[in-house]
Structures are given as structure tokens and as C-alpha cells.
Amino acid sequence: MKLKEQQERDFERLVQRQRQTIYSVCYLFANERQQADDLFQEVLIRLWKGFGNFEGRSSEKTWVYRVALNTCVTANQKQQRSKDLLPLELDKDFFAEDERNPAALRLHKRIGKLHPFDRALILLWLEDLPYDEIAAILGISIQNVSVRLVRVREKLKNITD
């Protein structure tokens, strides 16, 4: 088997294993389903470009989170420069369980009102990642993760729907 074909198959397996991780990040940074799908595609492009250089110094999931978050934050910054950020409007089909769980829908709306870095931090925390992995993904210290999480959770309590 040719090296390129093997690399393509390895990448396909990576995407299958990490699909939910990528979609979770894209969903959190999107205003609508089409934007989430576009972000998902952009993340896949960036993952593919970096796939051959991934050395395994961090876990696969950490690397995917980092690429996805950087891609979504960059896209979010470009959008903010071009126009004011619209409030998050969810496509009801995107995650059907949100319709059955009003608390999850409220939380998603509140998270959408946070700054991109805080959104990334709370997403990783909600995914039950350990603080050391969150620190590695975001490029901050473990202690900083702890301090920032306290502040972000306080912000979430004070955001009105």
C-alpha cells in the first residue's frame, strides 16, 4: 500500500474517533448549523494539513481540540472584525436533545455570550477533561485553568437569558 493511501486511511480513522470532539467545538462557536458545518470543514482541512507533522507529544484528542479551538477562535475573530457578533441562534435540528432539555439549551445560550477563550475553557471543562489536559490544549498553566474556571462559572451564573 502506498504511503499516501495509508496516511489517508489513518486520517479517516482519526476523524471518525474525534468527530464528536470537533463538532462540539464547532457547534459552540457557530451561530447556525451552516456555520457549524463550515467550521467543521475548516477544522478538517487544518487537521489534514498538520496530520503528517503530528508527533504524538500530546494525546490525539488534545491535538484535535487545540486545532479545532484555534480554527474556531480565528474564524470568530474574523467575523467580529467584519461585523458585530450576532446572538447565538440554534438550529433546532442540530442537537435534538436540546429541545428535550431546556436547561442544556439555556446553558448553551449563556456560553455563547462568553468571550471565545472562556467558551473554549468551559467546553473543555464540560467535556470532563482533566485540568492538565485543558492547560495543554489552551496553553496556560494548570493553576490558571482553575482560577479562570471559577471566574467563568461565576460569569455564567450572572448572565441573563
Segments making up each domain of the chain, as ranges: 3-158
For the segment 118-158, what is each residue's pLDDT rounded down to a tens digit? 998 998 998 888 999 999 888 899 999 999 999 999 998 88
Contact present, 152 and 140 (Cβ < 8 Å): no
For the whole model, what pTM was predicted?
Answer: 0.67
Question: What pLDDT is attached to residue 89?
Answer: 46
CA distance 77 to 148: 21
Question: What pLDDT is attached to residue 88?
Answer: 45
46 or 79: whose pLDDT is higher?
A: 46
Flag whether pLDDT at 161 surpasses 90.
no
CB atoms within 10 A of CB 89: 11
Cα–chain center distance at 141: 19
Assigned CATH topology for domain 3-158: Butyryl-CoA Dehydrogenase, subunit A; domain 3 (1.20.140)
Mean pLDDT of the chain: 83
Question: What pLDDT is attached to residue 1?
Answer: 58
Question: What pLDDT is attached to residue 86?
Answer: 44
Is the torsion defined by CA of 10, 66, 60, 150 positive or negative? negative
